[in-house]
Structures are given as C-alpha cells and as structure tokens.
Structure 1
C-alpha cells in the first residue's frame, strides 16, 4: 500500500476533525485537465471506486489519495512548433524574431499544443494518524508531497505541519551504524564515531555513500556486504551515507535516506501470515486488510526510527547533535549525479 513515506508532524494548533476533512476533500475532488489546462490535482476515493468515500477511516487512521494529472508536452515538439512560427515571421517581415518574441511564441505554442497533448496521472496515497499527530505521504519527492500539503492547507482552517527533527542527523547515525558493523566484523576497537544500531533494526546490503567536497564522488553498493573494511575506509575518508537499506523487527524492509525519507518499503512474508490471498477476498476486504497491516506496522516502526536517531526534538528547539570529528559535515541536498542508483 505504501512504497515511500515522507513523515510530518501535525501542528498542535490544528485539531484533527474527520467531518471537516471529509468536507474539504469533497470540495476539492479531482477533475481531469481541461483542453488548455496543463495540470490538475484533486482527491479521489482511496478504494479506487468511482464516487466512493474520499476519506477512509481504518483502525483509527484516515486514508486519502491525491490524483495529479499533467499534460505531457515534449520539448522537441514545442521547439518544432516555435521554429515553424519563427520561419513564417521571418518570411513575412524579413527579420528573425528576437528573444522576447520567441518567449511569447513559446507560450503560444504550448497553448496551441496542450489540447493534443497526452496526459499522465500520478496517485499519491495520504495517511493521517490523528492520535499520533502524524501526516504521512507516499511520494517520491518533496515537490509532490507539497501538492498534498498545499491542498490540505487550502481546505482545512488552521491546518499546518512541522518538519520532524531528530537529535542525530540520519547520515550521522547511518555512518555510525556502518562503522560499528565493520568494527564487529574485524573484531577490532570501535572508533569514536561508531554507533550501535538499535536491536530492532538490522542493516541490509544496499547503501550509497557520497563525498561532500567538490569531487562529489559516489560509491553505491547493491546486494553487497556492508560490514567491510572497504566501507569503513570510505566513511573515514570523508564519504557520508545518503541511503541505507534497513529491516525493522524482521517485518518491514526499507531504504532510509539522509532526509529521513523511507523508500522502497516492503512488508516481509511473516507480516501477511494468516491473511487470505488471491481471489479468496474481494476488493473491499483486500483494501481493509492491507490498510490495517500497513498502518499497524509502520505506526510502530516510526517511533522506533525516531528513537534510533536520538529522539524527536520539540519544534523550535532543534539542536542536532554535532557529528563526531571523524565524520565530515552534512551533504547539501543537491544530488551528485543524475544517474539513479541500481536499486531504483
């Protein structure tokens, strides 16, 4: 049900109200793009049923789904249309269009081509845990999550969220865990920066390390042991973990990023034990069961993860623990390479 998870803290100034949330969703239902509309966003039924309920309460959790539809206009098609327009102007006037005129031509070309453009739809599952005061969004990027937050803010009076801060930056904690693992494997003395991972988490076999300096060098491991001298050497030389594969309690595996985003979430075999499979359950039973399992597991995983990162800091009191001297400063958010990691 969830593949990625961006986690936010609901502001204490907003009191969750299911009726108000349902009313706001009904007022912002999804409508496909019009002929010249480049993008449209709105709520659809989480169960995938036409005209279904837009907010589904399951076990004390509220599930929603934002649909984003966008017209796809390839740049080459727009450029070809601009060139045609420019050639016509040059033939009529004897001069080439200037920079400002070409910009106006681009706007005109896009307007003309939008009715013929293909559309792409992206569904974003949204999960509100009112008792825990959390908002979770299944999105591949913060830009997509912002679309959810914007729509909720517009529709709900007083709605706001706050970023979650932890005492340890995720990259600092991940580096410490890797150093501790490599030290145990070599049966040596742990360095000062080593941090024992909590017992509920195990380190898996995928990792990405980046250098924070101008070299922007990247090392990626896929399905590879990480408790090695080679990994330890990369960290001690200055590279920082930006992604690390973990498993929680033998039940949920995921990739933790330096922004504390959970990616590639997978519920392991034991989680679904005893659940009917295949055609033995209808769509509603499947949705209810999957939702109960996903929210039930993840709502226990999240506090364990926050504890593993030193605990959540109160809003306005964010004072992250400094990285030990053996570790370099945090990386900027800009990626070192456009090449996707092998596990994407």
Structure 2
C-alpha cells in the first residue's frame, strides 16, 4: 500500500479528532480540471466509494487519499500555436509582436489548447497515527509532501508538523554500518547502495544487486564518498531504501508478513491494517537505530515514549585517507528529490 514514506511529527498542541479532520478535508474535495484549468488537487474517498468519507479510521489509524490532475500540454505544441498567432499578426498588420505581446499570445494559446489537452492523474496515501503523533506521506518527493502539509496546516486549526529528526544523521549512520558491516539490531543491509563524493567532483558510485560487504565499498567511504541511499531490511518483514534525507523509499512487505495473513482477507481494511501495523513498528525502530529522536522545533520536546531514551552516540566516519577521523552528525534534512519516484497506486 505504501511504497515510500516521508515522516513528520505532529505537535502535541493539536488535539483534533477524526470528525474535525473530515470536516477540514471536505473543504478541498477533488474535482477534475475545468476546461481551461491547468491543475486541480484535493481529497478523494480512500475506499474508492463515491461520496464516501474522506478520512477513514482502521484499527485506530487515520487514512486519507490525496488526488491531483494536470493537463498535459507539451511545450512544442504551445510554441507552435504561439508562432501561428505571431505570424498571423505579422501578415495582417505588417508588424512583429514585441516581447510583452508574445507573452500575451502565449497565454491566449494556452487557453485555446487546454480544453483539448489530455489529463494525467496521480494520488498519494496520507496516514496519521494519532497515538504516536506521526504524519506519513506516501511519496519520496519533498515538493509533493510540502503541498499536502500546506493543505492540512491551512485547513486544520492548530495543526503543526515538523519533519522527523534524529540524533544521528542517516548519512553518518549508513557510513558507519557499511564501514563496520554491523547494521543496527533488527536490521540487515541488502544489496543496493549509492555513494556520492562531497567535493567538487560530485562523483557517484552505485551498487545494485551487489554484495556491499567488500573492501571496495569501505575504500570509497575512506576516500570521501558518503552514502546517499542504502537498501535495508527490517525484522525480515519489510525491505526499503533509506536516503540521506531520512526519506524511506521502495517499501516492500516480505513473505513473513504475507504468510501470516490469509489471501482471502483482502480488502481496504486488511491492507491498511497490515501496512500501518508493520510500518508503525518500523518507524520507531529506525529512529532508535539513528540514535533516537532529535528536536523538531515544535516546542513540545520529545514524545513521551522517547523522552527517557539515552543520549545518542556519534558515529565516526573516516572522510578521506590521510586525514584525521571526523564525525558527521546533525539534524536530518530533506532535500528536494530531483528525480522523485512516482509511487504506484
């Protein structure tokens, strides 16, 4: 159900309930693009039933579905239409349109073409765990996540979130695990990794379907290439790719999960219960593997379940041969994904 995760912490000050959430979503119900509308966004019933609730609660987990639709208008088609209009002016009036008029012609051409353009739709699962105060978005693209967060913050009074932060940066932790070949308890390292140089060369080394417990990987790290992606498995139940920005990609539930559930149990409620049940256990284990949760800037301090956790240790990373050993720590960042993977639904 979820193929990617960007995780946010919800402020304790927000004490909303499911009905309040439903009322807020009803203000932005998805409608298909109008004739001259380039893009439309909004919420649709997650069960896929017409006129159904926009927020569903399954086993205490709140699930929503965000929908977007865009008109596909190739630049070459638009430019051709603009040129046709400009040529018509030149022939009928004996003059060439100026820069300002060309811009106006482009707007006119777009309005002419939009009613005939094909549309492209995409959707995203959105999950709120009210007990752990987490908001999870099924995307690896920070720009798309920002759009949903903005809608929720504007529609829900008092709703505030911050990107999940950890005491140890994912990049430092991944480098440590690869150097020592000692993954955190409950996790294993798989066969996919990306290493990127921090210097001006921006050199990138990628491994796919390849063992990572080799000297070559350690040598790359010693020479200054640090992990930006690492494939891992949690508890033999969920495989995923961890990114340097704490984005979790390529999520797949493994046989150990599916074997415990009958194939006859399919359906929305079962899918939600299985996915959220596994991922709600993975998230805190991953936070612990990254040294515990950091400060979010929400003013709440740490969640009660984590407030008594021991301070995290920094993980040493040798940055380059011949240089003294340093550390890479600090808050997790979530850079915009320049090649976001579209999550299938």
In structure 2, what is the Cα distance between the partners aligned to 1:272 and 1:231? 33
Report whether the alignment pairs 1:79 with 2:41: no
> TM-score scaled by structure 2?
0.86
Q: Report the counterpart of residue 154 of structure 1 in structure 2.
A: 154
Q: Report the counterpart of residue 201 of structure 2 in structure 1.
A: 215
Q: SS at 1:106's partner residue?
A: helix
Q: Report the counterpart of residue 96 of structure 1 in structure 2.
A: 96
Map 1:1-344 → 2, pairs under 5 A: 1-181=1-181, 196-277=182-263, 280-281=264-265, 285-316=266-297, 324=316, 326-327=318-319, 333=335
Q: SS at 1:103's partner residue?
A: helix
Query: Is residue 243–residue 258 contact of structure 1 (8 Å, CA) maintained in 2?
Result: yes
Deviation at 1:100, TM superposition (A): 2.5
Deviation at 1:198, TM superposition (A): 1.3
**Cα deviations by residue, 1:187-242 (Å, 9 ceiling, x for unpaired):** xxxxxxxxx42121100000111112221111111000001111111111111111
Q: Report the counterpart of residue 305 of structure 2 in structure 1.
A: none
In structure 1, what is the Cα distance between the partners aligned to 2:135 and 2:22? 16
Query: Is residue 141–residue 340 contact of structure 2 (8 Å, CA) maintained in 1?
Result: no
Gaps of at least 5 residues in structure 1 are 182-195
**Cα deviations by residue, 1:76-125 (Å, 9 ceiling, x for unpaired):** 11111111112122223333333322222222221221111111111110
> TM-score scaled by structure 1?
0.87
Query: Is residue 30–residue 43 contact of structure 1 (8 Å, CA) maintained in 2?
Result: yes
Deviation at 1:338, TM superposition (A): 6.4
Deviation at 1:5, TM superposition (A): 0.5
**Cα deviations by residue, 1:48-74 (Å, 9 ceiling, x for unpaired):** 111122111011100000111111111
**Cα deviations by residue, 1:98-157 (Å, 9 ceiling, x for unpaired):** 332222222222122111111111111000000000000001301111221122122211
Query: Is residue 198–residue 308 contact of structure 1 (8 Å, CA) maintained in 2?
Result: yes
Deviation at 1:332, TM superposition (A): 9.9
Which segment drifts farther, 243-252 or 316-325? 316-325
The root-mean-square deviation of aligned C-alpha atoms, in Å, is: 2.4
Deviation at 1:322, TM superposition (A): 6.9
Would you say how many aligned residue pairs link Structure 1 and Structure 2? 320
Deviation at 1:312, TM superposition (A): 0.5
Query: Is residue 70–residue 121 contact of structure 1 (8 Å, CA) maintained in 2?
Result: yes
Gaps of at least 5 residues in structure 2 are 303-310, 321-327
